[in-house]
Homo-oligomer: A and B are copies of this chain.
């Protein structure tokens, strides 16, 4: 297992694991023929699934463990008692240099806690953040933090902005991404002092992105900026609110069409268009949240996804490794040595 990129896989995380995980690897393998998989999980359950996919044999290695991190496990409990779990062993294989990236659809809090402890943060980064990509009125937007840090300092937000810009450059292909800080518009003093301090530092900092100032909730979908930066509390609420709203609007639409005979006929004509609409808004397309700022690439797949969604999460990991993402972040952080230390210290 030396050629290509090796990805460590937690086979046991996710609602329909391990089947959806292994089927997802078969799809991912088609997209990235160079990738190799180091799979951690219950051999009795996982091996028969791998054997069904001839393309996986020879490029994957299965390591047995019968311990699994439960979905409802608290991160601290998972840290203490999950040292032999499929999730932890997969993370450890990245720490030990056997794999370059770990992908799991398991418990988010446990994955973050274990990844922080085992992989540590990159030089210049105080705290990792969860990032993901979402569709907007014009192209995609990268958003972070989506839940790793319930409370943040101005310094954390500045680091998130810089990591987000590197991410948008490498993964979304934007040469000079625009970056906005999520805030509210109605109030005179526009949000917490932490946000104002972070904005001030970002205005004064040289990085490979353009800080355009504060944005509001509706800018996330209008695509005002390429990167949206916020704390993990606000980001998590915004993400789940957006998901819920999309479901609500789609459901209202479905009910409307089911409510009249003419509309049902109309649906038959428009079925192709509806399929396209569904494909465009398919959450599996955007599956795969990245833990940015760790010494090792860690991708969290949605727990409820299917094989196609899991394959997308693996592809995200392959992309980040292929682009030397962590190296680029380290270079970007070197740029900030210009900030006076007392400034960032005071803001933090």
In the complex, which residues of chain B have a beta carbon less than 8 angstroms from the beta carbon of A259? 273, 276
Given the known interface contacts A187-B147, A256-B273, A262-B269, the answer about A217 and B192 at a Cβ–Cβ threshold of 8 Å is no
Q: Does A218 sit at the interface, judged by CB under 8 A? A: yes
Picked from B76, B137, B187, B216, the residue with its CB within 8 Å of the CB of A188 is B76
Q: Name which residue of chain B comes closest to A261, CB basis.
A: B269
A266-B260 contact in complex given A218-B244, A240-B218, C-beta closer than 8 Å: no
Given the known interface contacts A150-B189, A238-B237, A259-B276, the answer about A244 and B269 at a Cβ–Cβ threshold of 8 Å is no
| B243 and A241 contacting across the interface, CB-CB below 8 Å | no
Chain B residues with Cβ under 8 A from A237's Cβ?
Answer: 182, 184, 216-217, 230, 234, 237-238
> Which B residues are in CB contact (< 8 Å) with A265?
266, 269-270
Name A247's closest neighbour in chain B (CB-CB): B221
* Chain A residues numbered 105-164 whose CB sits less than 8 Å from any CB in chain B: 108-109, 112-113, 135-137, 147-148, 150-151
Q: Please encode chain A, from 214 to 230, with 1 for each CB lying within 8 Å of some chain B CB and 0 for all others.
A: 00111111100000001
A108 CB contacts on chain B under 8 angstroms: 186
The distance in angstroms between the C-alpha atoms of A232 and B331, with both chains bound, is 38
Contact B270 A263 (CB under 8 A): yes
Alpha-carbon gap, A125 to B135, bound state (A): 41
Is there a chain B Cβ closer than 8 Å to A1's Cβ?
no
Are A109 and B188 touching (Cβ within 8 A)? yes
Q: Is A268 part of the binding interface, using a Cβ–Cβ cutoff of 8 Å?
A: yes
Q: Given the complex of chains A and B, what is the CA–CA distance between A74 and B186 in angstroms?
A: 10
How many angstroms between the C-alpha atoms of A147 and B271 in the bound complex?
41
CA distance A246 to B241 in the complex (A): 11
Q: How far is the CA of A272 from the CA of B148 in the complex (A)?
A: 45
Q: Residues 173-199 of chain A: 1 if any B CB is under 8 Å from the residue's CB, otherwise 0?
A: 000000000101111110110000000
Q: Are A188 and B252 within 8 A (Cβ)?
A: no
Tell me the minimal C-beta distance from A85 to chain B in angstroms: 17
**Which B residues are in CB contact (< 8 Å) with A151?**
192
Some 6 contacts from A to B, beta carbons below 8 A apart, are A109-B187, A150-B189, A217-B238, A234-B234, A256-B277, A262-B272
Instruction: List the 8 closest pairs (A to B, CB-CB), nearest first.
Output: A217-B240, A266-B270, A266-B269, A263-B273, A218-B244, A221-B244, A217-B241, A245-B245
